[in-house]
Every structure is written in C-alpha cells, then in structure tokens.
Copies of this chain bind each other. A is one copy, B any other.
Amino acid sequence: MSELLMKAKKAKEAVSDMLTKSTEQKDEALRFIANQLIQETPFILQENLKDIETARDKGVHESLIDRLMLNETRIQDMAGALQQLTQLPDPAGEVLERIERPNGLSIEKVAVPLGVIGMIYEARPNVTVDASSLCLKTGNVVLLRGSSSAIHSNKALVHVIHQALEQSDLPADAVQLIEDTSRETASQLFKLNQYLDVLIPRGGKALIQTVIENASVPVLETGAGNCHIYIDETADQKMAIDIVVNAKTQRPSVCNAIEKVIVHESWPKENVKELVETLQQHGVEIRVDAALGKSFPSVTVATEEDWHTEYLDYVLALKRVSSTKEAIEHINHYGSKHSEAIITKNEENVNLFFQLVDSAALYHNASTRFTDGFEFGFGAEIGISTQKLHARGPMGLPALTSSKYVIRGNGQIRP
C-alpha cells in the first residue's frame, strides 16, 4: 500500500476518535503544540535551514526564500496563534436549528466536523501548523500535502506536532504529512473520495486551478483576487485617493489588495490626475485604457490581458466608464469575485453596486484590504472563499464544519 493510501486510511480511522473529544481536550492539545514548538525551536530551525540551502543552491528568488524561512520570531508567532485559537468558541456541537414537528418529532441541526480534510499548499511551512491547528480545533483530521521545497521544515513541524499530540488525548493520526511530494501522488489525492471529505488548496492561482480542474473530492476554493475600486462622479477626492492608495500599497502581495481602479468620466479630470500622481509617488506603475491614454500620454496603455491579471505588485490599471452599470459589467466580466469597492456619495449607486456585483465582499467608502477573517472579527481565518457553495468570503472556524440532523421520536412512522 502506498504512503498516501496508508495515511488516508489511518486518517479516516482517526475520525471517530476525534468526534469523542471535548473542546477542552482539543484546546489542551493546541497548548501542548504551542509549547512544543517553542521547546523544539533549534531542531525546527536546523531542518528549515536544509530547505533554505537547497533553495539557494537552486537560485530561488529571495522573496520566495523569505516565504520558506522560519526564525525564532516566526515560531513564536505560530505558538502565539495557537494560544489565541484556544480562546475561540468551538463551532462543532453547536445546535444551529431546532424544529418541533406536529407529529412530535424533535429535530436538531447540529454542527459537526467535516471529517478528513486534505490540505494542499505551497512553500510556506507556517501553513503546516496553521492548517493543523484550525483542523484540530474544529475536531477534524488533516492530511497535509506541502511542497517538496519545504519538505524538511514540514517533516520537522509535523514531528513536533506529533510529540505534542502524544502528550494529549487526541490521536496522533489526526495530523499526518504526505512525504511523497510527486505529482502522481497529488493526482491520486484529488480523487480520494473514499477517505477525504474536502480538499483545501492554499496557494497561487495555478495550484488552485489544478485542484479545481482535477479533483473529484469537493473543494473549498480559497481564491485569487483581481479586486476593483470604482469611483463614481460624486466621490470625494481625498477619500477616494486615500482608499485607493491604501488598497493598492498597504500590502500589494495579498489577495485583497486592488489591481484595478475604474473612474466615472464625470469625476473631475484634475482628481484623476491627482490620483495617478499620488499612486506614482507611492511607486505604483500605472496602466490606462485607451480613453485615458489621451490624458496621460506618458503612461502605458493596458492590454486585454491586464484586465484579467492579479499583479500582486506595485502595478495598477485604470479604466474610464460612462456609467455605474458599465463599471459593474466590467467587474463581473474581468473580476475574480473577491472584493470590490465603490466610492460615492450616491446611495442609489451603492445599492446597484451591492445588488449586481457578483463578489464575496462589497464595500462602500472603505478599503478592500478589510476582507480578512481577523478584520471581520472571526478571530481566525481558514482562507477567503471565492466560490459560492458552503462559504463565501473570509472563512472562520465554522467553515470547517458541516452539520447533521438528529431527530428524536417515540415510535413515529410515516403515514
């Protein structure tokens, strides 16, 4: 039996055991993991160094090496996040609905763990700890499949998690790492409906697309963000510019940063000029559509490709429209259904925007950078869903649960 099948089988077997554990038992295990991470910091860093050295030998870009790298502070942050997680309410077991039927049947809809979660991710070793802890907190079992470039770090972290789980009441098999990082194994994992309840890809667009196109296991899609801000003709100049600058430059590499600005043709020309210059002062490269090209002859004209692109960088494309409807159509056509904002004083346009834009999060007069589980007050975040089934937008702990109906009777039969 392959490593994958063996571990998937063990994962499935651990589900029942996990279902019997109390919130207190799960939180205790999280505290043990936090402590063990601190205690084993030298070992983790030593193993992480192996991955870093391999990456350097291969000439990997420093920004990717930074994603791969662990240090004392980062390990302390992981431990801190685990401690915080113990303070959050446990969604599993919560009664979501009660129905009393005329025939005396008493129906409860109860939140339950999803079961076995397959987590597929890229070079960030912190996802190993993050994903494991969120799954354990919600009573799930997790099968981790990280990148080969982080294999030593991931093995070390899972080793440390196992040390902690052995001190706890939770089964060690609740967290397992697939060490075989071949593509064939990943393809097998996508089709493992017998053992897996859900797959969660965490990483870039290519990874997510591969999973969506190839998985028969249901996927919880955490998505790319080609986010837009639309400035209508009534928008306050200062507010619009402040929000655009924040949404573009406060952290350009994340999915809720904006990539596009759409301005209404009646928003004063001097405002648009001020906006472009301010962005340029912040180091942002601007690309404009043909209509705006005339006003900004020195600025690159955007291609069709630009409107589809999530730059994740100091680049922004600017488009002019003649109506709010045109802006909405553009967003629905080119966007990634993540986060979009409208800056306006016109309530009618807000309502139209909120009703017709097909995205997970829509803002009026605020930065798209708030689309985040912590900013929404969830206390934790699994990711930001850009799909429409199950969960949409920032996902807190409840997104890692399903539900079941439990029905109590006294002999009822169907007439």
Contact = CB atoms under 8 A, between A and B. Distances in A.
Interface of A: 15-16, 19-20, 99, 101, 105, 107, 109, 114-115, 191, 193, 197-198, 212-214, 216, 218-220, 236, 239, 242-243, 246-247, 250, 328, 332, 350, 354-356, 358-367, 369-371, 375-377, 387-390, 392-394, 402-414
A379 to B, nearest CB: 12
Contact of A363 (B197, B332, B369, B409): B409
Given A193-B212, A361-B404, A388-B114, A412 B366 contact: yes
Nearest to A191: B213
A402 B392 contact: yes
Nearest to A198: B389
Query: Most chain-B Cβ atoms within 10 A of its Cβ — which of A243, A354, A363, A412?
Result: A412
Nearest to A242: B413
A212 B413 CA distance: 33
B216 A213 contact: yes
A343 to B, nearest CB: 9
Contacts of A359: 404
Instruction: Give the residue among A19, A115, A212, A365 with the most B Cβ atoms within 10 A.
Output: A365
Contacts of A355: 19-20
Copies per complex?
2
Given A101-B377, A216-B212, A356-B16, A405 B362 contact: yes
Nearest to A352: B20
A414 B362 contact: no
A139 to B, nearest CB: 11
Counting from the closest, the 3 A-B pairs by CB-CB distance are: A366-B409, A246-B413, A388-B402
B393 A218 contact: no
Given A19-B355, A212-B193, A365 B411 contact: yes
A109 to B, nearest CB: 8
- Report which residue of A109, A356, A375, A406 has the largest number of chain B beta carbons within 10 angstroms of its beta carbon: A406
